[in-house]
Amino acid sequence: MRTKQLTASFGISALAGLAMGAMASFAMPAQAADDTIKVGILHSLSGTMAISETTLKDVMLMLIDEQNKKGGLLGKKLEPVVVDPASNWPLFAEKARELISKDKVSAVFGCWTSVSRKSVLPVFEELNNILFYPVQYEGEESSRNVFYTGAAPNQQAIPAVDYLMSKEKVQRWVLAGTDYVYPRTTNKILEAYLKSKGVKPEDIMINYTPFGHSDWQSIVADIKKFGSAGKKTAVVSTINGDANVPFYKELGNQGVKAQDIPVVAFSVGEEELAGIDTKPLLGHLAAWNYFQSVETPANTDFIKSWKAYTKNDKRVTNDPMEAHYIGFNMWVKAVEAAGTTEPDKVIDAMVGVAVPNLTGGYSAMLPNHHITKPVLIGEVQENGQFDVVSKTSGLVPGDEWSDYLPDSKDLIADWRKPMSCGNFNVKTGKCGGKGS
């Protein structure tokens, strides 16, 4: 009996101490050093998304490092604050809150999946801070506190389909994707777009697979079957990161050649190809706004400093990295223009800022918080790089509300005053969706 009591009182005092300790430790405001500007980096370093996001953390550290070598910002050094949201979506929100309210960062660069962005969005809006989101996504969103430096569907999916239609004369389409919001929305948009171009419903096959799907035998066989109807067929793949390697391995093994059934992917970049033997994939396509193989002085420098920074000659660069490069430089420029890191002022200064991108042009921040980008179509080469086979003649402005979805075609976003609205309905002339 005495043991029991002892145990009990021990446990309870531990609990009590812990609760008090917790309060004390959290109650203490982090000492905010005035001589630095803090920049939050919110990318998963563990869990399922680490495979993609860790690189982005590294590139941010490199960019901050370089900026500090150039003398910092507003005469202060930049200080990166790295946290690990561990591919756990509620943890993203918690970490975002921690970065903003405890570490007092001036801006955050982070997130990869849509769900992580959706999870932190209310936090950024509530605490009024800035998030730079570097990944291509499904659109249908515009927040005052978020700057979308990745591609909207019209900057990736639609040009890719256009290319296949005009250059490869594709008439039959397989829309294959992982079952989540980005592929669902992208495919909805593409379906509407294809139908508007006169493609018949029976010439479109839509297939969804779970995350991390690893057995692609039947689906590749289905694709082959669908492709044997006598019309030129192509696959538009919105298959998510992890599942791509087994998918491409199966394609290669079953002998689906790009010359017969080309696959164009929106989530496969240099980083993903680094894990596959690309010889059988020669000629399959990807649509991005950046490829490592693009030969411009800016890109050559970027690749060189990236390899030097990571001390690894084999490290590749990819599109979301360029998005961070653009986003970071835009932020630096806007902060310099505003003369302060105060989010409200920086947000206002952001619109219209233009910085060089790595493909030889300038990207500008639009009033809808998306940016202008060139769209490149690349074919996979044997060395795991892409050969650019098509490039849009000019820059494509990011369109947050798709024109091909019935409920969003009347919406626009414009964060300049006096409109300051993320979902302005041009039909009703009111802010707030249907404005009803």
Partner 1 sequence: MLLRFFLMGLDRKAGIVLTILAILAVAVPVMTLWVPADSPFHLSVFTVSLLGKYLCFALLALALDLVWGYCGILSLGHAAFFAIGGYAMGMYLMRQIGPRGVYGNPVLPDFMVFLNWKELPWYWWGFDQFWFAAVMVLVVPGALAFAFGWFAFRSRVTGVYLSIITQALTFALLLAFFRNDMGFGGNNGLTDFKDILGYDIQADTTRVALFVATVAALALSYMIASGVIASKLGKVLVALRDAESRVRFMGYDTESYKLFAWTLSACMAGVAGALYVPQVGIINPSEFAPASSIEAVIWVAVGGRGTLAGAILGAVLVNMGKSYFTGALPELWLFALGGLFVAVTLFLPKGLLGLGAQLKAKLPGRKASPLSNAQPADQKGA
Partner 2 sequence: MRRALRWLMAVCVVVATSTAAYAADLRPLVQALGSGGYSGTEKALAQLSEAGDPAAVPVIEALQAGDLYVRKSDGTVVVARKSGDAFTLTDPLTRAALGDAPAAAVEKIRINNSLRRAISASLGALTLMSPDAGVRRSAADAVFKSRDASALETLSAAIAKEQDKGVRAAMEQARAAILLTGEAASKMTDADIQAATDTLTARGDRDALVLLNMVAGSGASDVTKKLAAAAVSTLEQKLAFWAALQNLWYGLSLGSVLLLAAIGLAVTFGVMGVINMAHGEMVMIGAYTTFLVQEFFRAHAPGLFDLSILVALPAAFLVSGGVGIIIERSVIRWLYGRPLETLLATWGLSLALQQAVRSIFGPTNREVGAPSWMSGAFELGGLTITYGRLWIVIFAFAVFAALLVALKRTWFGLSIRAVTQNRPMANAMGIRTARVDALTFGLGSGIAGLAGVALSQIDNVSPNLGQGYILDSFMVVVFGGVGNLWGTLVGALTLGSMNKFLEPYAGAVLGKILVLIFIILFIQRRPRGLFALKGRAVEA
Residues contributing to the site for partner 2 (CB under 8 A): 45-46, 48, 50-51, 54-55, 167-168, 179, 207-210, 212-215, 217-219, 221-222, 224-225, 227-231, 242, 245-246, 249-250, 252-255, 258-260, 262, 271-272, 274-277, 280, 282-283, 285, 379, 382, 387, 389
Minimum distance of partner 2 from residue 424's CB (angstroms): 37
Nearer to partner 2, 166 or 428 (CB): 166
Q: Retrieve residue 177's tokens.
A: 């994707």
Q: How far is the CB of 234 from partner 2 (least distance, A)?
A: 10
Q: Which is nearer to partner 2, 208 or 309 (CB)?
A: 208
Nearest C-alpha neighbor of 266 from the set 154, 404, 118: 154
Out of partner 2, partner 1, none, what residue 406 binds, judged by CB under 5 to 8 A for its kind, is partner 1
What is the DSSP track for 385-436? -EEEEEE-SSPEEP-SS-TTSTTTTTEEEE-STTT-EEEEETTTTEESTT--
> Shortest approach of partner 2 to residue 51 CB, angstroms?
5
Instruction: Indicate which of partner 1, partner 2, none lies near residue 207 (CB less than 5 to 8 Å, by partner kind).
Output: partner 2
In the bound state with partner 2, the residue whose beta carbon lies nearer, of 225 and 304, is 225
CA torsion 58-52-413-237 (nearest 10°) is 150
Angle between helices 241-253 and 50-69 (to 10 degrees): 120
User: 364: which strand partners?
Assistant: 354
Q: Which residues contact 171 (CB under 8 A, 6 or more apart)?
A: 199, 203, 231, 232, 233
Q: Which residue number, 12 or 33, has a Cβ lying nearer to partner 1?
A: 12
Residue 280 interaction partner, one of partner 1, partner 2, none, beta carbon < 5-8 Å per kind: partner 2
Which is closer to partner 2, CB of 121 or CB of 235?
A: 235
Answer positive or negative: Cα dihedral of 32, 34, 35, 41: positive
> Can you point out the beta strands (E) in 111-226?
131-133, 146-148, 172-178, 204-209
- Measured from the CB atom, the residue of 156 and 423 that comes closer to partner 1 is 423
Q: Kindly state the smallest distance separating residue 407's Cβ from partner 1, in Å.
A: 5
Query: Two tokens at 276?
Result: 């596959």
Q: Shortest Cβ distance from residue 134 to partner 1 (Å)?
A: 18
Q: Shortest approach of partner 2 to residue 144 CB, angstroms?
A: 33
Q: How far from the centroid of its chain's Cα atoms is residue 3's Cα?
A: 56
